[in-house]
């Protein structure tokens, strides 16, 4: 039991770090290509970090007794449905970009990253497809439950998305600022 908890915490910390890194790089990209930078920020930084904080805030509030069982089931299932799709879409985009970098750069390390991204995206898509129906049923059952509170759910989502936005936006602005400080002279 303790090993599973430690492993879960490690994965959540890694997810937060990757989301911050993606937000920072999105700021660097945004300095040159606003549309692409915005997509990378939204799908690679803001949504994944919000997903992690929905899980963290839900667990903390449930542990403190502020959420009912139905609220917890709804929050975890709904976040899987909503954010899971965003993660699959981001995986396709990241795999495409790493494939382009591999072809243009002809670097074997970029090829390894492309292969990893491809397998991770396939795994994520498989998990999302196989878990979709059970998550959807859990959402429906939670809503029909007598102890379900939409106010509590909205509060948790608002807090988690707010935290995710602040952290990812600060990283995004730092990336943008670092690109604007660099002056290229030829």
Instruction: Render pLDDT for 141-184 as a digit per residue (tens, 0 to 9).
Output: 999 988 889 999 999 999 999 999 999 999 999 988 888 766 55
Q: Are the C-beta atoms of residues 67 and 58 closer than 8 Å to each other?
A: yes
Give the distance between the most distant pair of CA atoms in the chain: 68
pLDDT of residue 1: 64
Q: What angle do CA 76, 82, 83 make, to 5 degrees?
A: 80
Closest alpha carbon to 72 in 56, 58, 51, 53: 58
Instruction: Give the domain range for residue 24.
Output: 20-175
Query: Considering the domain boundaries, does residue 9 fall inside one?
Result: no
Domains held by the chain: number: 1
Residue 48 belongs to a domain: yes
Identify whether 73 is part of a domain: yes
Does any domain span residue 180? no
pTM (two decimals): 0.79
Q: Taking Cα atoms as reference points, which of 38, 59, 56, 130 lies closest to residue 88? A: 130
Q: Residue 8 domain-assigned?
A: no
């Amino acid at each position: 039991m303790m090993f599973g908890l430690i492993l879960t915490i490690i994965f959540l910390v890694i997810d937060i770090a990757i989301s911050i890194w993606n937000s920072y790089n999105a700021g660097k990209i945004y300095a040159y290509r606003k549309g692409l930078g915005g997509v990378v920020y939204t799908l690679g930084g803001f949504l994944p970090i919000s997903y992690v904080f929905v899980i963290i805030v839900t667990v903390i509030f449930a542990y403190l007794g502020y959420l009912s069982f139905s609220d917890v089931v709804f929050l975890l299932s709904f976040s899987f449905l909503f954010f899971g799709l965003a993660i699959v879409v981001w995986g396709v985009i990241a795999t495409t970009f790493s494939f382009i970098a591999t072809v243009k750069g002809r670097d074997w390390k970029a090829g390894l990253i492309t292969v990893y991204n491809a397998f991770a995206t396939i795994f994520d898509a498989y998990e999302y497809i196989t878990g979709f129906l059970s998550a959807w049923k859990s959402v429906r059952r939670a809503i029909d439950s007598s102890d379900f509170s939409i106010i509590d759910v909205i509060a948790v989502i608002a807090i988690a998305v707010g935290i995710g936005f602040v952290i990812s936006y600060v990283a995004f602005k730092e990336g943008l600022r670092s690109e604007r400080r660099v002056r290229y002279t030829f």
